[in-house]
Chain A
Amino acid sequence: MSEPALNWGLALRGSCALLPVLALLLVLVLMDTFKLVRPRRIGWSLLFGVAAGALTFIVNSSIMSLLRWEVFTFAIFVAPLVEEVCKAAYMWWLIRSGRVGFLVDAAILGFATGAGFALVENIYYLKTFAGESPMLVWIIRGFGTAIMHGGATALFAILTRSVSDQRHPGSAAVWLPGLALATVFHAAFNRFMMWPVPTTIALLVVMPVILWLVYALGEKRLRRWLGTGFDRDTELLALIQSGEVGRSPLGRYLHSLRDSFRPDKLADMLCLLRLQTELNIRAKGSLVLREHGLKPGPDPDVRAKLEEVRWLERSVGQAGLLALRPVCRWRDGNQWQRHILEDEN
């Protein structure tokens, strides 16, 4: 009789600790006016968080057996770094590959990854230490842990996404500040783990405020980018369609490249410019419609255009892409817009 009762208690504690975090994740998703993140990607982030949690368990156990430090010291000085590195790896890949465009999607995917991680950690704690503390304390501790993990990875993602525009993608300066912030945040939480109730309350006050500020700032930036980007794209398209490219500053710039590129490569560069502009308009139009709860009409050509863009990029090579950068700000979200279209089609 006692075994099922214990399992029900475990299930209740686990549910009470995790359901509010999933509810908070849902709130973040609902607050995303532009629906930047597809449910499938959130699911993958949760799953990766679970995998990172399992991996961390093995790594932490190995390091602990090597160092033989006291658990509390280990939890403050070693575990936060190991855990944040494991969680951050996936977010870093998402950002590096252009799958995260703005602060809002960075916050959602970071929080989802952390929530997945917390799922594993809470199950481990519940199974290991069940019955040692009153149920209310367990619920609060589990909730606090989940918010901390979600919040720390969201902070990493937000800061890394902010910095990634200004630095070389491969530079440690892109991910190091975010990792340091997440690790310090995590270590501070562990430092006060003996007082789970005040720590969780503090987190509950601080984290929503931070996320709200990030959302406000992120949406403001997105609207600005959408406005200026759409206008620039449509003007460029009008210029290309008009047949007057040759007499425009763009045309003069392309002419100036004749000494450096073969004529067929120059033609490919112009095709790439046009196709990427068309795809950018499609992605931005899609965001405008999503903001108002509408779905864009199907475009059977999008897949073929995405394929063609990839082929043209290979054809013109890195040198061609670099030469085009002054006229189309190549790194300015093109990759992310392509991922939006790939997800949609």
Chain B
Amino acid sequence: MFNIEDDPQGNVILIGRLDAVSAPIARQHLEGIETSTRLDFSQLEYIASIGLGLLAATQRRLMERGEGLTLSGLNPHLREVFSLAGFEGVFRFE
């Protein structure tokens, strides 16, 4: 199960498993982001490579207009995966 929603502060919360099945839901939501946004990963259990691709595409689009994503609340395993994958120099982490 996967869900993506906005909280009242304008943060985007990802919940559950972001994999090939749930990627279209995430893509639709991420494509609607127009300004710098914080993505809350604290309730995300798993992210597949397709999810990383969605984040990279969104970041590229936002960077072109001087904006960007901040990724927050990653569990230690996800944080290490992002770090190993070379995403640390591309996204802001909190």
Contacts and interface: CB of A to CB of B under 8 A. Distances in A.
Interface in A20-64: none
B19 to A, nearest CB: 8
A304 B81 CA distance: 18
B14 to A, nearest CB: 16
Contacts of A247: none
Contact of B77 (A230, A241, A285, A299): A241
Contacts of A289: 56, 85-87, 90
B5 interface: no
Interface residues of B, number: 23
B85 A285 contact: yes
B77 A237 contact: yes
Nearest to B76: A241
B53 A278 contact: no
A68 B90 CA distance: 64
Interface string B37-50: 00000000000111
Interface stretch (A98-106, A172-180, A290-298): A290-298
A227 B56 contact: no
A297 B93 CA distance: 13
A237 B81 contact: yes
Contacts of A282: 84-86
Interface residues of A, number: 26
Interface of B: 20, 48-50, 52-53, 56-57, 59-60, 63, 76-77, 80-82, 84-90
Contact of B85 (A238, A291, A293, A296): A296
Contact of B48 (A227, A295, A296): A227
Nearest to B85: A285
A299 B20 CA distance: 28
Given A286-B85, A292-B53, A297-B86, 15 more contacts: A227-B49, A229-B49, A230-B49, A238-B77, A281-B84, A282-B85, A282-B86, A284-B49, A286-B86, A289-B87, A293-B60, A294-B90, A295-B90, A296-B90, A299-B86
30 contacts: A227-B48, A227-B49, A227-B50, A229-B49, A230-B48, A230-B49, A231-B48, A234-B81, A238-B77, A241-B76, A241-B80, A278-B84, A282-B85, A282-B86, A285-B85, A286-B85, A288-B49, A288-B52, A288-B53, A289-B85, A289-B87, A289-B90, A291-B56, A292-B60, A294-B63, A296-B87, A296-B90, A297-B87, A297-B89, A299-B86
A293 B88 CA distance: 16
Contacts of A297: 86-90
Contact of A294 (B48, B56, B76, B84): B56
A291 B49 contact: no
Contacts of B63: 294
